[in-house]
Chain A
Amino acid sequence: AQKVTQAQTEISVVEKEDVTLDCVYETRDTTYYLFWYKQPPSGELVFLIRRNSFDEQNEISGRYSWNFQKSTSSFNFTITASQVVDSAVYFCALSESQGGSEKLVFGKGMKLTVNP
């Protein structure tokens, strides 16, 4: 069963529009971490944010904000006033620590294109 679901595969917006990237996860762990990574066209993977399961406080960093809701198992990412430089593939990921193993499970990614 897929454990991290990014239902949107591709979104295209016009510059200055707000855009929300959805992430829904599934885990039996009581303690876990959620991450967002960005992969620009150049290909590298860039860490954006980490959130642990005990901290449901929303976070804002400039034009980026994250909404974590345990009740709906969601960790959504919003870009306000999008810019062309935001064009990238965005991945949501979940860390698991079950039975002595430690894994990081990624969603399939969502390609965001911001047009000028």
Chain B
Amino acid sequence: EAQVTQNPRYLITVTGKKLTVTCSQNMNHEYMSWYRQDPGLGLRQIYYSMNVEVTDKGDVPEGYKVSRKEKRNFPLILESPSPNQTSLYFCASSLRIAGGLYNEQFFGPGTRLTVL
């Protein structure tokens, strides 16, 4: 089954304790991305990757890191989480169309993170 998986689905942690949210897709998609969803703010892009070893900042990258060592995986790293990073996080992947544009995004189920 074609899918994007995220782990963990729920996480409660404390300020400053490093954490990683994993994301994996089995559709051989080039493009992967992380979003956070906050009430009243919609979805905002944190980081994206157009292919292996190619990553770039989205609109809200501060406090986050990513890596893309393999095509299928795109982990999100919070080196020193803070309460303002409490949010619902979505990973997504998509094909890239020639010319740089891309197809619809397939989203993971979401990770609800609470930072105390």
Contact = CB atoms under 8 A, between A and B. Distances in A.
Given A31-B99, A97-B100, A103-B59, A44 B44 contact: no
Interface residues of B, number: 29
Main secondary structure of the interface of B (DSSP, over half): strand
Interface stretch (A14-22, A63-71, A79-87, A105-113): A105-113
Nearest to B90: A45
A50 B104 CA distance: 7
A95 B42 contact: no
Contacts of A97: 99-101
Interface string A30-71: 011101000000011101001010000000000000000000
Interface string B68-106: 000000000000000000001010100010011111111
B114 interface: no
A104 interface: yes
Interface of A: 6, 9, 31-33, 35, 43-45, 47, 50, 52, 91, 93, 95, 97, 100-109
